[in-house]
């Protein structure tokens, strides 16, 4: 549904929440749910589509463990309700039949009477079949396979045979998460912090060995200290996957300096909450690192800053396609979870594709525009003199205007004329005139 249509359907009294569609995040969330479903089947996967929204579970030989299929379906529904998710469940002899029963008729014994959309065909082929009057799966049987192949290509016959089990269809599995856990049970409670740090060091060496054997690196590490009846938990977040025991020990010690144990410790447990494959790089002849983002030194610096300041204090700004300047970026922490970086070989002038030059935007953008005290204007309404932070500035040059206006669907639309101005002292500012109130604001500084 287009955004304009969705906005028109919402009530003005009811506040609406709009987020940009992110297919990659949707697939990651679906795979996360798939890993949870390994408690019901050893083989769990996602449907083979560009934008999957269906989980596939192979329950062959599993139902006796749950008494029967109805009991299994009931337990799955209860689990999804506990996860605050709504699921439609269908069971069939083939993937196609199970998929169709989640969207059409669950108890459909006559498969020929199901809609042609149950074959998981592309939208264009479905539209053509409906136009020809072939609305049910059984309508395809009188037509020769050669005619169907020539008219619709191999996908129609492939889905038809998979639906009835004449062609096998494999499930692309989502592997269950690997658990990397090391722990130390003490015979007697220990209160010596130096000894506790030694235990943590030993456990980190064991954990690094387990991770290195599987070519994995930890991104988020949980350290649990059981102090008799109280549990103290710290979480160590890293910028990039690491299995280096020395580096993990250095970062963990920073977090340990901020913790105070309320009682003696009788158990220490380290667990890798998030881990990822270790990146393998071939060293350069002259030890030159062309990509600074993957630099080991930069990653180590970010980890130390997060250890000292907290992982929420080390953030990254991401450009967002938005005309309104103060909404054209997003802030997210960069430790503990790496988002895939998208590269493009197509050269553009800037990330937003607006055709702007690097110097068309200030290096320092204020979080909130500042209302300026106007001391003088020209005959055409342009600002000639203003006051900012107690200082008066005389404008000698200006460039603009650049009109920035939001769409009609915004409840609080803006209409601004931006100018680059240079003062007699050589300072350059990014100002705009609010056309609704005829007031001037400072929004950026060209340092």
For residue 131, tell me if it sits in a domain. Answer: yes
For residue 344, tell me if it sits in a domain. Answer: no
Domain of residue 404 covers 358-446
Distance CA 351, CA 252 (A): 37
pLDDT digits (tens, 9 = 90+) for 252-299: 988 888 788 888 999 999 999 888 888 776 666 665 555 544 577 788
Same domain? For 111 and 135 the reply is yes
Which CATH number goes with the domain that contains 238?
Answer: 3.30.1490.100
Indicate the number of domains in the chain.
3
For residue 64, tell me if it sits in a domain. Answer: yes
Note the pLDDT of residue 334: 78
- Report the mean per-residue pLDDT for the chain: 84
Same domain? For 167 and 227 the reply is no
Same domain? For 105 and 126 the reply is yes
**Residue ending a domain, choose from 119, 144, 172:** 172
Task: Provide, rounded to the nearest whole percent, the portion of the chain with pLDDT above 70.
Answer: 88
Same domain? For 202 and 66 the reply is no
Same domain? For 33 and 164 the reply is yes
**Residue ending a domain, choose from 149, 172, 195:** 172
For residue 219, tell me if it sits in a domain. Answer: yes
For residue 377, tell me if it sits in a domain. Answer: yes
For residue 13, tell me if it sits in a domain. Answer: no
**Predicted TM-score (pTM) of this structure:** 0.51
CB under 8 Å to 119, separation ≥6 — which residues? 96, 100, 137, 156, 159, 160, 163
Same domain? For 166 and 185 the reply is no
How many Cβ atoms sit within 10 Å of the Cβ of residue 189?
Answer: 13
Same domain? For 376 and 423 the reply is yes
Same domain? For 253 and 155 the reply is no
Same domain? For 189 and 231 the reply is yes
Average pLDDT of each block of 10 consecutive residues along the chain (447 residues)?
Answer: 72 70 83 90 88 91 90 92 91 91 71 89 92 92 91 92 92 83 90 90 93 90 89 88 91 86 90 85 60 67 82 79 80 67 42 56 86 90 89 90 80 85 91 90 89
pLDDT digits (tens, 9 = 90+) for 379-408: 888 899 999 888 899 999 988 888 888 876
Same domain? For 90 and 215 the reply is no
Note the pLDDT of residue 343: 38
Note the pLDDT of residue 423: 92
Same domain? For 165 and 264 the reply is no
Note the pLDDT of residue 283: 64
Note the pLDDT of residue 337: 62
For residue 146, tell me if it sits in a domain. Answer: yes
pLDDT digits (tens, 9 = 90+) for 98-120: 999 888 765 566 788 888 999 99
Note the pLDDT of residue 437: 85
For residue 369, tell me if it sits in a domain. Answer: yes
Same domain? For 196 and 150 the reply is no
């Amino acid at each position: 549904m287009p955004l304009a249509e969705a906005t028109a359907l919402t009530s003005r009294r009811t506040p609406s929440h709009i987020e940009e569609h992110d297919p990659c995040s949707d697939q990651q969330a679906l795979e996360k749910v798939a890993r949870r479903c390994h408690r019901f089947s050893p083989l769990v996967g996602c449907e083979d589509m560009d934008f999957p929204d269906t989980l596939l579970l192979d329950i062959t030989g599993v139902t006796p463990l749950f008494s029967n299929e109805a009991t299994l379906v009931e337990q799955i529904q209860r689990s999804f309700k506990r996860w605050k998710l709504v699921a439609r469940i269908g069971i069939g002899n083939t993937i196609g039949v199970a998929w169709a029963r989640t969207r059409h008729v669950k108890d459909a014994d006559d498969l020929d009477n199901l809609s042609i959309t149950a074959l998981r065909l592309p939208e264009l082929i479905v539209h053509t079949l409906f136009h020809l009057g072939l609305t049910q799966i059984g309508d395809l049987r009188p037509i020769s396979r050669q005619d169907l192949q020539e008219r619709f290509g191999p996908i129609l016959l492939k889905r038809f045979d998979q639906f009835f089990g004449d062609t096998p269809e494999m499930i692309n599995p989502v592997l269950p998460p690997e658990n990397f856990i090391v722990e130390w049970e003490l015979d007697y409670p220990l209160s010596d912090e130096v000894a506790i740090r030694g235990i943590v060091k030993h456990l980190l060496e064991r954990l690094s060995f387990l991770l290195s054997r599987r070519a994995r690196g930890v991104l988020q590490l949980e350290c649990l200290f059981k102090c008799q009846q109280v549990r103290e938990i710290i979480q160590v977040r890293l910028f990039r996957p690491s299995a280096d025991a020395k580096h993990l020990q250095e970062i963990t010690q920073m977090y340990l300096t901020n913790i105070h144990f309320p009682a003696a410790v009788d158990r220490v447990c380290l667990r890798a909450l998030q881990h990822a494959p270790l990146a393998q790089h071939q060293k350069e002849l002259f030890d030159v690192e062309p990509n600074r983002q993957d630099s080991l030194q930069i990653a180590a610096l970010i980890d130390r800053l997060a250890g000292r300041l907290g992982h929420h204090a080390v953030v990254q700004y991401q450009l967002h396609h938005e005309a309104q300047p103060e909404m054209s970026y997003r802030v997210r922490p960069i430790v503990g979870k790496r988002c895939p970086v998208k590269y493009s070989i197509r050269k553009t002038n800037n990330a937003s594709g607006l055709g702007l030059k690097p110097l068309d935007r200030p290096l320092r953008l204020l979080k909130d525009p500042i209302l300026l005290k106007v001391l003088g204007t020209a005959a055409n309404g342009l600002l000639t003199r203003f006051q900012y932070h107690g200082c008066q500035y005389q404008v000698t040059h200006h460039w603009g205007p650049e009109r920035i206006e939001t769409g009609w669907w915004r409840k609080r639309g803006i209409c601004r004329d931006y100018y680059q101005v240079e003062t007699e002292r050589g300072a350059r500012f990014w100002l705009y005139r609010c056309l609704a109130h005829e007031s001037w604001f400072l929004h950026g500084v060209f340092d």
